Amino acid sequence: MSQVFEFLAEQPVLLLFAAIGIGSAIGHVKVRGVGLGAAAVLLLSIGLAAWAGSYDVHLEIPEAMGTLGLALFTFCVGIISGATFFSSLRRSLGPILAVAGVLVASAALAVAVGGLLRLDDPVVAGSWAGAVTNTPALAAARDAAGDDTGPTIGYAVTYLFGVVGMLVAVSAALRHRGQDADAPPTLVSRTVRVEVDANLSVQELEELHGDRIKFSRVRRGETSPIRTAGGTDLLLLDDLVTVVGPHEDIDAVTRELGHTSSHHLETDRQYLDMRRITVSAEHAAGRTVGELDLLHRFGATVSRVRRGDVDMLATDDLQLQLGDRVRVIAPRERMPEVSTWFGDSSRGLSDIVPVVLGLGMAAGILLGTIHIPVPGGVFTIGSAFGTLLIGLVLGRIGRIGPVVTAMPYTAAQAMSELGLLIFLAQAGSRAGGQIGAAFTSGEWLRILVLGVVVTGFVSAGLYVVMRRVFRVGGTRLSGIMSGAQTQPAILAFANARTQYDARVALGYALVYPAAMITKIVVGRILGGL
């Protein structure tokens, strides 16, 4: 085996992809329906590096590859989450502060338990950084302590349980995800006969229901042609209208207007046609449904938007992205024209938008190098945090002039997964190389006890606070736990278990920035004790 490890040490690219391939294969193995997913790549890399170390072979994937992978991953997560992140931020200040509070409390607990276990302060600081799996916190602790060895040993011993322990907590959070109250509602379509003479417009009714419903078709009289519903259309007695939205809202508007009709306007294609169209033309992306003005442009309307595996109601303020599949209702003779205008090409699903990727990644990495003064020195937020912030902003903006600033959901998802796998393989090879030295220390068992206490406190604290205080559903909680731990391996596990439910990435992106800042600051404070 010595010769094999020496060969792999000379071929880091081969080592990288071998770890990704074999680790992913292991991750697909499930026991009682549960598998490690991408986290298996991390564990395999740790094991290989530690095994090679027993032959005095240093097996480590270059750090630059890991930096690239992590930056690519966080940038794409930002792009994916940007459209909804800032609106969620206004509603989620409480959970964000709660995450920071749990992390600060865990640091205080680490100091107390570390004192009882007679561990040196630098070792306690590194152990805490490993238990919350945060390398920038380790770097901050080492700088503040002026000691590389103690914090590094503590970090290496506690890191593995920091990942595995939180994986167990996330698995517990997802156990009852079928009962989540915050699941995206299933959209239904219904034809309603108007039996009241309320003289309300389509726009007024949509606003009365908080824009949770959308009228797509209207027929005035039994023999009149079916046409797309406009915001200024008044609903009159005996009109037939098609309304789209969550089941409860559709039931409510049906009771207000009349009753469910035996006619189904959506099946009558004599006047109007309906088609799913892929948004691939850049002039249509990065704009809201209302800004497209399809009713006046083509006599058409959009009732739903499918992004990834989620159907969303096409409200006027919903921003379209490349790769979205829009359900368009338009006059039959104009449907080809509408399809051409949107592009309707598979490029909309796979275009990585090189301008956005290149300049966005460069801006994020530069942002991560800026020195921020703090008491006792300076710190940088790092390339991962910088690219996440830039990705969130670009995903939210949508476009700058003629330039689309977001990537297609499918392409961003694929690139984020690739970046994640690269990072996990590199991080595992690095941690595995340190484990051997860490376990030669006579303190390793006490350090491990401290790590178990900290990780257990953070996972239990997050679970209890988010579930009991903020009533967060298990799916979103798994993303929050991943973000609070700033651990991509846990996010990958949660994504695999939920088939990439959008709530996981949103929860991750929501708390990741606050968790990262808190850990860096706390790591510096612990290192300076």
**Residue 372 · residue 383 · CB < 8 Å:** no
Single-letter amino acid code for the residue at 372? I
Q: Which residues contact 526 (CB under 8 A, 6 or more apart)?
A: 107, 110, 111, 121, 124, 125, 128, 141, 144
Q: Kindly state the percentage of the chain with pLDDT values over 70.
A: 94
Which range has the worst mean pLDDT, 38-47, 169-178, 219-228? 38-47
Q: Which residues contact 228 (CB under 8 A, 6 or more apart)?
A: 216, 217, 218, 272, 295, 299, 300, 301, 329, 330, 331
**How would you classify the pairing of strands 227-228 and 301-307?**
unpaired
Residue 379 has a pLDDT of 67
Residue in 255, 250, 254 with CA at minimum distance from that of residue 313: 250
How far is 125 from 468, CA to CA, in rounded Å? 30
The pLDDT-based confidence of 373 (bands split at 50, 70, 90) is: confident
Strand partners, 374: 377
pLDDT tens for 486-520 read: 887 788 888 888 887 878 877 887 888 788 778 87
How far is 80 from 407, CA to CA, in rounded Å? 8
pLDDT tens for 426-465 read: 877 877 776 666 666 668 889 999 999 999 999 999 999 9
The domain locations on the chain are 66-180+359-420+443-527, 187-345
E-state strands within 81-205: 187-194
Does the pLDDT value for residue 42 go beyond 80? Answer: no
How far is 483 from 287, CA to CA, in rounded Å? 29
The pLDDT-based confidence of 385 (bands split at 50, 70, 90) is: confident
The pLDDT-based confidence of 150 (bands split at 50, 70, 90) is: confident
pTM of the predicted model as reported, rounded to 2 decimal places: 0.73
Average pLDDT over the chain reads 86
- CATH classification number, 187-345, choose in 3.40.50.720, 3.40.50.2300, 3.90.1310.10, 3.30.70.1450: 3.30.70.1450
How far is 319 from 127, CA to CA, in rounded Å? 44
* Cα distances (angstroms) measured from residue 283 to each of 305, 325, 400, 411: 17, 15, 11, 19
How far is 138 from 384, CA to CA, in rounded Å? 15
Radius of gyration over every alpha carbon of the chain, rounded to an integer in angstroms? 27
- The DSSP element (H or E) to which 102 belongs, if any, is helix 93-116
Does the pLDDT value for residue 410 go beyond 70? Answer: yes
Strand partners, 330: 273
How far is 307 from 287, CA to CA, in rounded Å? 15
Specify the higher pLDDT residue, 350 or 439.
Answer: 350
How far is 240 from 221, CA to CA, in rounded Å? 8
